[in-house]
Amino acid sequence: MSEMKKPVYKPNREFAASARIKNMCEYETLQAWATEDYEGFWGHFAKEKITWQTPFDTVMDESDFPFVKWFGGGRLNVSVQCIDRHLQTRKNKAAIIFEGDRGDKQTITYMELHNSVNRFANMLKNEFGVRKGDRVVIYMPMIPEAAYAMLACARLGAIHSIVFGGFSAEALRDRIADAQAKVVITADGAYRKNKPYMLKPVVDKALEGDTPVEKVCVVERNGEEIVWVEGRDVSYSDLIVKQSIHCEPEIMESEDPLFLLYTSGSTGKPKGVQHNSAGYILWAQMTMEWVFDVKESDIYWCTADVGWITGHTYIVYGPLAMGATTVMFEGVPTYPDAGRPWKMVEEYRINQFYTAPTAIRVLHKMGNDEPKKYDLSSLKVLGTVGEPIDPPAWKWYYEDVGNSKCAIVDTYWQTETGGHIVSPLPGATPIKPGCATFPLPGIMAEILDPKTGEKVEAGEGGYMCVTRPWPAMIRGVWGDEERFKKSYFGDVKKEGRAVYFTGDGAVYDEDGYITITGRTDDVINVSGHRMGTAEVEAAINKHEGVAEVAVVGKPHDLKGEGIFSYVIMKNDTVTGRNMELTKEINNIIKQEIGNIALCDDIVFVPGLPKTRSGKIMRRILRAIAKGEAITQDISTLEDPSVVEKIQNAVNT
């Protein structure tokens, strides 16, 4: 890896000259400002970037750390920040460009976005009784109405909780129950690879039995037949036409919640990560401007789904807050062929393109020569997110897609950080393949030694931490203060004070560049999505024949990591692989979580490597899955002979 990292790509001069942060000297000046006068720095940008209803009077209050408050006394509405304030100068500018799976297109101007969001908000308010603080679950495909729904919630001060459309009815039910949502917004279904798929039946199943949900609003996208539950389900198209385009925005306090987004942790059920209004929208906009350097007439495309944080911050909130044009794509990048994204880049003259390494690997593998077939000269910035990008994928992205001219921004962040925290600045930061480079201005990100709390030396691995609260930091785990403190502020202390720990390991190189090395906990990164081993284990345990299970990640060529499970059956005569049982177990996972959590490999074993205190040594299981020799001391295991038995089962 370090060999591949040697080349330093100098940013394109012409491009750098007009960038918002032009060079490392400007970067360092900003970072020095933040270091010396943290509140002055953030106060300055909050004043400059946010259209306040009432100005704030304090910048940061950390007296109740880790519960931190930003911009106290300030009042605003995030939908105004994303829409209304642009109407004077940009009402005819495209806010959203939508392209459907089958190539259908729609351009939505800021004026039209305003009208649609206001109608949507009026519908939520007048027809469903949604009020400030209510939770609304959004279970939607990638269509403009998903963005309208988010912004309509923001307009009313309701808290949205988007559940990715790939999650199962069980997963949806859990999230609805945890958030106690009163309304679900969904669609009949949508299209994928020119075929309709369904969402509404999943909602129906999730709402069976006791549910806090009173109303389900259904956007008709694919027109397939669905069941309508009398009194509960309503058609969006019927109601929306009756609504006025005027809906007064609810004026919110800076720290009023904006949304929840459930994400996997190393233990237990997914947690509802809470983001609040002012700090989140400020950082969404600032990072959008700094990291993608989107200019007034640029067209920006992020290929994520709104079901993940990337879709929240970098398809909807960030681009709209800065008044940019954001592309929303319903389809999959390899359909009808692996040239689809490049065809779209050519057609819309996309200037910034943002995707995940897993997508780059698939596009590379399936369509090495596709980029050459299109005019990609409009591209200036190419972004990646979700996992470390491997050098071959980086090289192809840089050379074949970017024509060795674009800045690659390897953006490191998480659901909890709200926006990027470590990333190159395009045109300013000399880039190295596979390197997220430096903390963004204002972010006090450091790699610390978990034992001493000191910054680690170059080449020594440590824990990726943020030592001061920042505006877009997670504000809480919904309904669970203890879990919030324990999950993020329990592991590392710097100078005796708890700091935010990301859960990732990282390392500095000799030039101070940061490389993220991956999770230090039991979280697997499958195609850039986080999956908790505990969640997958809980699903597998529902199989009545299963006695015990341990799940680990195993490197996978395309997905980054695949899910590898070791299962002990109650009837322990089964060892090695078993097609039928594997199918049964994967079916349960599909029902409990969704297709994204299916196991790539399940091995039936007679035992698990446990310490005498009963702790499963996952490190050994990871090594066996990879086919590596076991280097750690196994003499402390309760039964050292189990290692060889497991190896035999894997190799049969």
**Distance between CA atoms of 71 and 47, rounded to whole angstroms?**
10
Task: Rank residues 66 and 270 by Cβ distance to ligand WT7 and give the closer one.
Answer: 270
Which of 122, 161, 411, 582 is the binder for ligand WT7 (CB under 6 A)?
411
Task: Rank residues 516 and 569 by Cβ distance to ligand WT7 and give the closer one.
Answer: 516
Residue 503 is a binding residue for ligand WT7 (CB under 6 A):
yes
Residue 386 is a binding residue for ligand WT7 (CB under 6 A):
yes
Residue 19 is a binding residue for ligand WT7 (CB under 6 A):
no
**Contacting range for ligand WT7; rule: CB under 6 A; set: 77-85, 410-418, 451-459, 625-633:** 410-418
Task: Rank residues 491 and 504 by Cβ distance to ligand WT7 and give the closer one.
Answer: 504
442: left (phi over 0), alpha (psi -120 to 50) or beta: left
**Distance between CA atoms of 648 and 575, rounded to whole angstroms?**
9
Task: Rank residues 128 and 470 by Cβ distance to ligand WT7 and give the closer one.
Answer: 470
Task: Rank residues 204 and 535 by Cβ distance to ligand WT7 and give the closer one.
Answer: 535
Chain positions 422 to 481 lying near ligand WT7, rule: CB under 6 A, are 436
Chain positions 530 to 559 lying near ligand WT7, rule: CB under 6 A, are 530
Least distance from ligand WT7 to the Cβ atom of residue 95, Å? 23
Least distance from ligand WT7 to the Cβ atom of residue 596, Å? 11
Using the 8-state DSSP alphabet, how is residue 372 labeled? G
Residue 128 is a binding residue for ligand WT7 (CB under 6 A):
no
Q: For residue 544, which phi and psi values (nearest 5 degrees)?
A: -65, -20
Which of 77, 285, 502, 586 is the binder for ligand WT7 (CB under 6 A)?
502
Choose among 410, 521, 527, 418: nearest CA to 463.
Answer: 521
Check if the beta carbon of residue 358 is closer than 8 Å to that of residue 365: no
Check if the beta carbon of residue 266 is closer than 8 Å to that of residue 534: yes
346 to 82, 353, 478, 616: CA distances (angstroms): 27, 12, 43, 51
Check if the beta carbon of residue 539 is closer than 8 Å to that of residue 588: yes
Class of residue 77 by CB neighbours under 10 A (exposed 0-12, middle 13-18, buried 19+): buried
b/e 366-389 (16+ beta carbons within 10 angstroms → b): ebeebbeebebeebbbbbbbbbbb
Q: Which residue is nearest to ligand WT7 (CB)?
A: 415
Task: Rank residues 447 and 585 by Cβ distance to ligand WT7 and give the closer one.
Answer: 447
Least distance from ligand WT7 to the Cβ atom of residue 383, Å? 9
Residue 410 is a binding residue for ligand WT7 (CB under 6 A):
yes
Residue 413 is a binding residue for ligand WT7 (CB under 6 A):
yes
Choose among 447, 440, 432: nearest CA to 26.
Answer: 440
Preceding peptide of 7 cis, ω within 30°? no
Which of 415, 437, 527, 575 is the binder for ligand WT7 (CB under 6 A)?
415
Task: Rank residues 517 and 647 by Cβ distance to ligand WT7 and give the closer one.
Answer: 517
Which of 294, 385, 440, 499 is the binder for ligand WT7 (CB under 6 A)?
385
Residue 522 is a binding residue for ligand WT7 (CB under 6 A):
no
Task: Rank residues 110 and 500 by Cβ distance to ligand WT7 and give the closer one.
Answer: 500
Token pair belonging to 329: 């794509």
Class of residue 164 by CB neighbours under 10 A (exposed 0-12, middle 13-18, buried 19+): buried
Choose among 307, 398, 413: nearest CA to 353.
Answer: 398
Least distance from ligand WT7 to the Cβ atom of residue 301, Å? 16
Task: Rank residues 316 and 637 by Cβ distance to ligand WT7 and give the closer one.
Answer: 316
**Strands of 88-224, DSSP E:** 94-99, 105-109, 135-139, 159-162, 183-187, 189-192, 195-198, 215-219
Token pair belonging to 163: 């559940």
Task: Rank residues 276 and 575 by Cβ distance to ligand WT7 and give the closer one.
Answer: 276
Least distance from ligand WT7 to the Cβ atom of residue 412, Å? 4
Chain positions 302 to 321 lying near ligand WT7, rule: CB under 6 A, are 309-310
Instruction: Kindly state the helix (H) or strand (E) to which residue 445 belongs, with its residue range.
Output: strand 445-448
Task: Rank residues 293 and 410 by Cβ distance to ligand WT7 and give the closer one.
Answer: 410
Q: For residue 519, which phi and psi values (nearest 5 degrees)?
A: -65, 145
**Contacting range for ligand WT7; rule: CB under 6 A; set: 103-111, 276-284, 339-347, 404-412:** 404-412
Task: Rank residues 411 and 467 by Cβ distance to ligand WT7 and give the closer one.
Answer: 411
Residue 354 is a binding residue for ligand WT7 (CB under 6 A):
no
Which of 77, 116, 525, 565 is the binder for ligand WT7 (CB under 6 A)?
525
Task: Rank residues 530 and 618 by Cβ distance to ligand WT7 and give the closer one.
Answer: 530
Residue 263 is a binding residue for ligand WT7 (CB under 6 A):
yes
Residue 352 is a binding residue for ligand WT7 (CB under 6 A):
no
Residue with tokens 């940013």: 11
Least distance from ligand WT7 to the Cβ atom of residue 517, Å? 8
**Contacting range for ligand WT7; rule: CB under 6 A; set: 160-168, 341-349, 392-400, 525-533:** 525-533
- Collapse the DSSP code of 604 into the 3-class scheme (helix H, G, I; strand E, B; otherwise coil) and give the result: strand
Least distance from ligand WT7 to the Cβ atom of residue 467, Å? 17
**Distance between CA atoms of 563 and 557, rounded to whole angstroms?**
13
Residue 265 is a binding residue for ligand WT7 (CB under 6 A):
no
Check if the beta carbon of residue 262 is closer than 8 Å to that of residue 270: yes
**Contacting range for ligand WT7; rule: CB under 6 A; set: 21-29, 77-85, 218-226, 500-508:** 500-508
Check if the beta carbon of residue 141 is closer than 8 Å to that of residue 187: yes
SS3 per residue for 490-540: CCCEECCEECEEEEEEEEECCCCCEEEEEECCCEEEECCEEEEHHHHHHHH
Residue 412 is a binding residue for ligand WT7 (CB under 6 A):
yes
Which of 504, 537, 561, 592 is the binder for ligand WT7 (CB under 6 A)?
504
Check if the beta carbon of residue 370 is closer than 8 Å to that of residue 342: yes
Which of 516, 550, 602, 625 is the binder for ligand WT7 (CB under 6 A)?
516
Task: Rank residues 410 and 537 by Cβ distance to ligand WT7 and give the closer one.
Answer: 410
Token pair belonging to 483: 């879990």
Task: Rank residues 250 and 410 by Cβ distance to ligand WT7 and give the closer one.
Answer: 410
361: left (phi over 0), alpha (psi -120 to 50) or beta: alpha
Residue 388 is a binding residue for ligand WT7 (CB under 6 A):
yes
Residue 202 is a binding residue for ligand WT7 (CB under 6 A):
no
**Distance between CA atoms of 432 and 5, rounded to whole angstroms?**
6
Q: Which residues lie near ligand WT7 (CB under 6 A)?
A: 263, 309-310, 385-388, 410-415, 436, 502-504, 516, 519, 525, 528-530
